[in-house]
Chain A
Amino acid sequence: MLELIIRRTLNVIPICLVVFTIVFCLMRIAPGDPATAMLGDYASAEAVQSLRQEMGLDRPLWSQYLDSLRGLLHGDLGRSLSSGAPVSDQIASALPETLALAASSLAIGLLLGVPLGIVTAVRRGRPVDHAGRLFSLSGLSIPSFVLGILLMLLFAIDVPIFPAIGGGRSGDLSDQLLHLALPSLTLGLIMMAYVTRVMRTSMLNVLQEDYIRTARSKGIGELRVVLRHALPNCLVPLVSLCAINVIVLISSSVMVEIIFSRPGLGRLLISAMRQRDYVSLQSVLVVYAGIVILVNMTADLLYGVVNPRIRSR
């Protein structure tokens, strides 16, 4: 297992490097000069020039690149061009909000989606199957911001059970959870649609296997056949689905954070973009890509756990 972890880690290093290089290049070809952006359009040429010097923007690109990379490896992401605060502090306060949203949505998706997927597979062709398929088609087709607006309209405006916007008072856990409810339900329902569909497909495949027929012929109860014999064999596709969809979740969280005004990474991304704060933007992009790479790596390792045959490869 340790060897696998080391091998996978070595595999992602070149990807991380290329990702960083792409982000660095993107930020350098972006229009507008960071020093001008920071001082405003009416600043004198001398002031801009001296700030450029201070920020190291007058040095050759490769030297800026190496400095940036060195800073990243040391956790120093520079200072925000708009607020002047260290970018690492901004990210440290926004990242937990986004991760809490992603984790709670994933939990809702799995807790509701796995049982629904099993039921629709076992009751194939019955009304519950049709309802389940209609649900997953709808969930796969609805953009997160559309579902978010619907839920906000229903449960924050028409029937005001949950707060519509904000992240909750800091330090007040119950208030924060209350504010997390609608955003995580939005992404959780979409996740549930994906989980239901994959669970149904793989359960239908597994239920046709010989070992299931053998188990049934031994007179084992249907519930036990499904839960003990079929379910563990459905887990490999579920793990890869979760990996893909955590990435979809992270992507959709941007929209959900905007709609519900949650102080997460997505809001940081959009405000950095609007204010042409390229230092923050560069770091947020690297963090997002880092999350995706980490999720993919975890999924690779989880494959080994749920399917021992993959581990030996």
Chain B
Amino acid sequence: MSGRRSGGARLLASPSALIGLAGIAAIVLLAALAPLLPLSDPLAQQPYGTLAGPSLASWLGTDNQGRDVLSRVIFGAQTSLLISLVSIGLAMVLGTLLGVVAGYYRGYAEVAIMRVADSLMAFPSLILGVAIMAILGSGTEKVILCLTIVMTPRFVRIAYGSAMAVRVKEYIEAAQAVSAPFHRILAVHIVPNIFSEILVVAILWIGTAIQVEASLSFIGIGVSPPTPTWGNMIKSGLDYLPIAPWMALAPSAAIFLTIVFFNLVGDSIRDVVDPRHYG
């Protein structure tokens, strides 16, 4: 019954997908419109208003330097979303390309690409991230580069598997028979056939990217303060946990909800693409 409807329609019929999409839209809008909202400056310190609890003036309280926590959470969303979305996007493009080349050409390309990808995947993502940041040093663009390196091998694996499955199909043989160039086979025949699978994992891995970014900032090797990120806010909140729990709890809730929303959407898309999965 539901099989006759298009994937998009089935997605929109699922309540969990709708909740996820609405949540993501709200967070993205808040982050994008942050400078226009009536928020106090996330960097403005108030020496006389430190560690104030939630009130009408500052809904989520203030931190140890008197900065407004709500404003920092919303501005922190900008950094966290920017880093995760850009690095997942870059890793998706790079990983797909490398994986398809390895799966399609086989031979030396396959051995070289897959050995390096498998070896990089032998490191848990956060630990590889820490090692790379140790070399790169902190900063927004460096975190993006680091996350791209961490996430790319995962896309290589997926794209490689899919490309191996697709390359023996008749339509690829037909394209080869009329000597279609590789970039055409890639763009017209391979990528469209493996795209949905890659998109699903990309959406599910946005959550992982947000977690790793927050962890790096938490450790103190990600985006440098005073730029607010959820990770460095939680870090500074940890020292004041007994007396000002809102400092750590507000950004924690923001990370948690953002990942929940992305997981809801990712799971729903996976259910539509692969109905064998029970949500």
Taking beta carbons and an 8 Å cutoff, which residues of A are in contact with B?
Answer: 14-15, 18-19, 22-23, 26, 29-31, 133, 137-138, 140-143, 145-146, 149-150, 152-153, 157, 200-201, 204-205, 247-248, 250-252, 254-255, 258-259, 269-270, 273, 276, 281, 285, 288-289, 292-293
**B130 interfacial by beta-carbon distance below 8 Å:** yes
Choose from A140, A258, A270 the contact partner of B263 (Cβ within 8 Å): A140
Q: Are B124 and A251 in contact (CB under 8 A)?
A: yes
Q: Which residues of B lie under 8 Å from residue A288 when comparing CB positions?
A: 123-124, 127
Q: Which residues of A lie under 8 Å from residue B245 when comparing CB positions?
A: 153
Interface centre among B133, B264, B279 (most CB of A within 10 A): B279
A-B contact count (CB 8 A): 119
Q: Which residues of B lie under 8 Å from residue A138 when comparing CB positions?
A: 256, 260
Residues 110-137 of B at the A interface (beta carbon under 8 Å): 115-116, 118-120, 122-127, 130-135, 137
In the bound assembly, the distance between CA atoms of A250 and B234 in angstroms comes to 21
Q: Which residues of B lie under 8 Å from residue A276 when comparing CB positions?
A: 134
Given A149-B241, A247-B124, A248-B124, verify A15-B119 contact (CB < 8 Å). Answer: yes
Q: Which 5 residue pairs spanning A and B have beta carbons closest together?
A: A251-B124, A141-B259, A18-B119, A146-B252, A141-B260
In the bound assembly, the distance between CA atoms of A289 and B98 in angstroms comes to 23
Known: A149-B237, A152-B241, A285-B123. 15 other contacts (CB 8 A): A19-B122, A23-B131, A141-B256, A142-B259, A149-B252, A201-B278, A248-B124, A254-B127, A255-B218, A258-B219, A269-B130, A270-B130, A273-B134, A288-B127, A289-B123
- Shortest A89–chain B CB gap in Å is 21
- Shortest A14–chain B CB gap in Å is 7
Q: What does the 1/0 interface line of B214-257 toward A look like (CB < 8 Å)? A: 11001101000000000000100110011001001100100110
Taking beta carbons and an 8 Å cutoff, which residues of B are in contact with A?
Answer: 115-116, 118-120, 122-127, 130-135, 137, 207, 211, 214-215, 218-219, 221, 234, 237-238, 241-242, 245, 248-249, 252, 255-256, 259-260, 263-264, 276-279
Q: Which residues of B lie under 8 Å from residue A23 when comparing CB positions?
A: 131
In the bound assembly, the distance between CA atoms of A138 and B123 in angstroms comes to 25
Q: Are A137 and B263 in contact (CB under 8 A)?
A: yes
- Shortest B247–chain A CB gap in Å is 11
- Shortest B193–chain A CB gap in Å is 25
In the bound assembly, the distance between CA atoms of A133 and B15 in angstroms comes to 14
Q: Are A153 and B119 in contact (CB under 8 A)?
A: no
Q: Are B259 and A14 in contact (CB under 8 A)?
A: no
In the bound assembly, the distance between CA atoms of A126 and B249 in angstroms comes to 32
- Shortest B124–chain A CB gap in Å is 3
In the bound assembly, the distance between CA atoms of A132 and B87 in angstroms comes to 32
Choose from A22, A29, A201, A251 the contact partner of B126 (Cβ within 8 Å): A251
Given A140-B263, A273-B134, verify A200-B123 contact (CB < 8 Å). Answer: no
With CB as the reference atom, state the residue of chain A lying closest to B238: A149
Q: Are A31 and B135 in contact (CB under 8 A)?
A: yes
With CB as the reference atom, state the residue of chain B lying closest to A22: B119
Q: Are B255 and A146 in contact (CB under 8 A)?
A: yes
Q: Are B124 and A292 in contact (CB under 8 A)?
A: yes
